[in-house]
Amino acid sequence: MSRYRIQNPATGEVVETFEAASDEQIEQALKNADAAYREWRERSIQERAAVVRRVAELFGERKEELAAIIAREMGKPLAEGIEEVEFAASIIDYYGVYGPSLAVDQEIPSTIPGKATIENLPVGVLLGVMPWNFPYYQVARFAAPNLVLGNTILLKHADICPRSSLAIQQIMEDAGVPLGGYANIFATHEQIAAIIADPRVQGVSLTGSERAGSIIGEQAGRHLKKAVLELGGNDPMIVLDSDDVAALAADAWNFRVYNGGQVCNGNKRMIVMEDIYDEFVAELKKLAEGLVAGDPLNMPERGYGPLSSRAAAEQVNDQVQRAVAGGATLEAGGVLVEGESAYYSPAVLTGISRESPSFREEIFGPVATVFRVSSDEEALELANDCDFGLGGSVFSTDEARAAKIASRIEAGMAHVNIIAAEAAELPFGGVKRSGFGREMGPLGMGEFVNKRFYFVAD
């Protein structure tokens, strides 16, 4: 089967296939990206930012068409797809508007007579390796700040997202990014390794699985290239108390099943105090019952979309079945549809034992796993007993009580009384096995930049 292909997850049908790039095409893309960098970096940052603002405008203008592409590629319901494109546009626009001030030179005091400055300069060609779960948003948060800085980009997207990745390149070119300044490449694994090794390439950013992150991180380290890795998550959502358990359970459910539960910073472990646990689980079960498999292009009321692929749906089903075999209870949902499609009904899973291998696994699908605890300390200890460290949240009517726990969550992002605060200006990233580096907000400008020290003596 061709590596790059559109295989409609609602039907299993392979709709279109694409040839992988030849080594000659990859070399040409590298040449073009390097040449574009030498021209792009000479333009003023305001000029580059104006082009990036135009990119954001084009995303907005084409949002229906872009959303329809990913509905077919990875099964995202149209309304969610439009939301994603709008969010991507807001991130791109944020860097177009605020990027120049975020990258401004900083003068520092000096005991040596003269003027000492820290500059923010581009570094060159960058490689992005992006996942299928948010085909536009993931690219936006990597590409926008780096284009404003003056870097150029080679983008290797997920194998199942060829049309959306080509659409992004088209937008970049239509907006005025110089030819080669942003290039989509249908690269093989071997070609990715060669690109990372190439002296013209100065860094690599990957969003994806732990496994992919460890491979790319190793290759980057071997060739002394800067890397940003945004990997998996198994984020805790601690519920200490609530004056409206049903509403909080609904928020928890909606966030968990959004995008088919295929969200890095999803609230994958709901840790609930014992006095409201039964009510919380009962509310989740209500929400999980009576759902119907729906067409992503025309989603019915109470409908759910397919996962990204049949293999993804089978993996989630296998993980849940193994958890049940280890003593967990499947309270609702969790049905893998027969046939070739990728439908897996959103599920509620309780009673996973701390000793079970399933306790350590990230389930990348629409499965709400719920744990019962009897003290704040137990909740915190359970939350931090995790190999990942992306995000986490704590809920209570007593903000100080929640904050005391949230301040001790071992994660790159900690929240009180909101599952995940997400906006163009807010940083995103993790610790532990969730990777390193930050995207979005002011920190997104600081990863692939030459913070050059510049001194002019008196």
What is the helix, strand, coil percentage profile of the chain, to 5? 40, 20, 35
What mean pLDDT do residues 120-127 have? 98
* Confidence category of residue 442, pLDDT binned at 50, 70, 90: very high
Residue type, position 333, single letter: G
Q: Please give the pLDDT value at position 34.
A: 98
406 conformational bin, left if phi > 0, alpha if psi -120 to 50, beta if neither: alpha
* Residue the block writes with tokens 């990997």: 231
Residue 39 a catalytic site member: no
- The answer to whether residues 252 and 284 touch, using CB atoms and an 8 Å cutoff, is yes
- Domain ranges for the chain, please list them: 5-231+434-457, 236-424
CA distances from 193 to 36, 129, 216, 219, 447 (A): 22, 12, 8, 7, 21
Residues β-bridged to residue 238: 271, 394
Q: Please give the pLDDT value at position 213.
A: 97
pLDDT, tens only, 35-47 = 999 999 999 999 9
End-to-end CA distance of the chain: 66
Looking at residue 451, the DSSP 8-state letter turns out to be: E
What mean pLDDT do residues 49-62 have? 98
- Measured from the Cβ of residue 103, the count of other Cβ atoms closer than 10 Å reads 23
Among the listed residues 230, 283, 362, 439, the single catalytic one is: 230
| Nearest one of 41, 428, 56, 50 to 230, comparing CA atoms | 428
Q: Please give the pLDDT value at position 230.
A: 98
CA distances from 179 to 28, 37, 182, 207 (A): 12, 10, 7, 25
Q: Please give the pLDDT value at position 2.
A: 64
- The answer to whether residues 362 and 233 touch, using CB atoms and an 8 Å cutoff, is yes
Average pLDDT, the chain: 97
- The answer to whether residues 178 and 40 touch, using CB atoms and an 8 Å cutoff, is yes
CATH of range 236-424; options 1.10.30.50, 3.30.70.2500, 3.40.309.10, 3.20.20.70? 3.40.309.10
| Nearest one of 288, 364, 284, 278 to 319, comparing CA atoms | 364
- The answer to whether residues 336 and 314 touch, using CB atoms and an 8 Å cutoff, is yes
* Residue the block writes with tokens 């949902």: 333
Position 352 pLDDT exceeds 90: yes
| Nearest one of 449, 458, 453 to 205, comparing CA atoms | 449
Residue 182 tokens read as 């942003």
- Strand 152-156 to 367-373 pairing: unpaired
What mean pLDDT do residues 59-80 have? 98
Report CA 332 to chain centroid distance, whole Å.
28
* Spatial distance between the Cα atoms of 361 and 386, rounded to a whole number of angstroms: 9
Residue 424 tokens read as 């163009």
CA distances from 420 to 44, 59, 232, 394 (A): 36, 24, 15, 10
pLDDT, tens only, 283-340 = 999 999 999 999 999 999 999 999 999 999 999 999 999 999 999 999 999 999 999 9
What mean pLDDT do residues 426-449 have? 98
Task: Report the percentage of the chain scoring pLDDT > 90.
Answer: 99
- The answer to whether residues 442 and 429 touch, using CB atoms and an 8 Å cutoff, is no
Q: Please give the pLDDT value at position 340.
A: 96
What mean pLDDT do residues 93-116 have? 98
* Spatial distance between the Cα atoms of 293 and 61, rounded to a whole number of angstroms: 30
* Spatial distance between the Cα atoms of 404 and 380, rounded to a whole number of angstroms: 10
* Spatial distance between the Cα atoms of 50 and 110, rounded to a whole number of angstroms: 35
* Spatial distance between the Cα atoms of 46 and 451, rounded to a whole number of angstroms: 19
Say which residue, 427 or 1, is predicted with more confidence.
Answer: 427
CATH 3.40.50.720, domain 5-231+434-457, yes or no: no
* Residue the block writes with tokens 């000096």: 110
pLDDT, tens only, 238-277 = 999 999 999 999 999 999 999 999 999 999 999 999 999 9
